[in-house]
Chain A
Amino acid sequence: MQAYVTLVRRELGSSFLSWTGYVVVGAVVFLLGMCFVNLLAALNNTDTEQPLLEMFYSTYYFWLILLLATPVITMRSFALEKSSGTFETLMTTPVSDKQVVFAKFTGALIFYTLMWLPLAACIFIVRRFSNDPSALDPGAMLSTALGILLLGALYVSLGCFASSLTRNQIIAAMLSFVLGISLFLMSFLSYAFAGDNSILARIFAHVSLIEHMRDFARGVVDTRAVVFYVSLTALFLFLTHRAIESRRWKS
Chain B
Amino acid sequence: MIEVVNLTKRYAGHTAVTGLTFSVQRGELVGLLGPNGAGKTTIMRILSCFMPATSGSARVAGFDVFTEADEVRRRIGYMPENNPLHKDMRVRDYLKFRARLKGLSRTRSRERTDIVMQQCALTDVSKRMIGQLSKGYQQRVGLADALVHDPELIILDEPTIGLDPNQIRTVRQLIKDLGGNHTLLISTHILPEVEMTCNRVLIIHEGRILADDSPKNLQKVMSDGGQIIAEIAAPADELRACWELVPEIEHYDVAPSDGDYFRCSLTPRAGADLRAQIFSIVCERNWKLRELTHSRHSLEDIFVRVTRADREEEA
Contacts and interface: CB of A to CB of B under 8 A. Distances in A.
B78 A92 contact: yes
Contacts of A18: 88
A91 B97 CA distance: 14
Nearest to A16: B88
Contact of A3 (B48, B80, B89, B100): B100
Interface of B: 10, 12, 45, 48-52, 54, 70, 73-74, 76, 78-82, 84-89, 97-98, 100-103, 145
Of the four ranges (under 10, 10 to 19, 20 to 34, 35 or more), the interface on chain A belongs to 20 to 34
B89 A250 contact: no
B101 A85 contact: no
A134 interface: no
Nearest to A250: B52
A3 B100 CA distance: 7
B97 A10 contact: yes
Which 8 residue pairs spanning A and B have beta carbons closest together? Answer: A85-B84, A94-B73, A6-B100, A17-B88, A92-B48, A86-B84, A88-B80, A92-B78
Nearest to A87: B84
Contacts of A249: 52
Given A248-B51, A250-B52, A7 B101 contact: yes
B54 A250 contact: yes
Interface string A75-106: 00000000011111111111110000000000
Nearest to A90: B101
Contacts of B87: 84
A14 interface: yes
A131 to B, nearest CB: 49
Contacts of A250: 52, 54
A251 interface: yes
Task: Give the secondary structure class of B's interface.
Answer: loop
B97 A6 contact: yes
A84 B102 contact: no
B156 to A, nearest CB: 12
Contacts of A251: 10, 12, 54
Nearest to A85: B84
Contacts of A94: 70, 73-74, 102-103
A91 B50 contact: yes
A100 to B, nearest CB: 10
B96 to A, nearest CB: 9
Given A17-B89, A96-B70, A89 B84 contact: yes
Contacts of A10: 86, 97
B10 A247 contact: no
A32 B84 CA distance: 38
Contacts of B51: 247-248
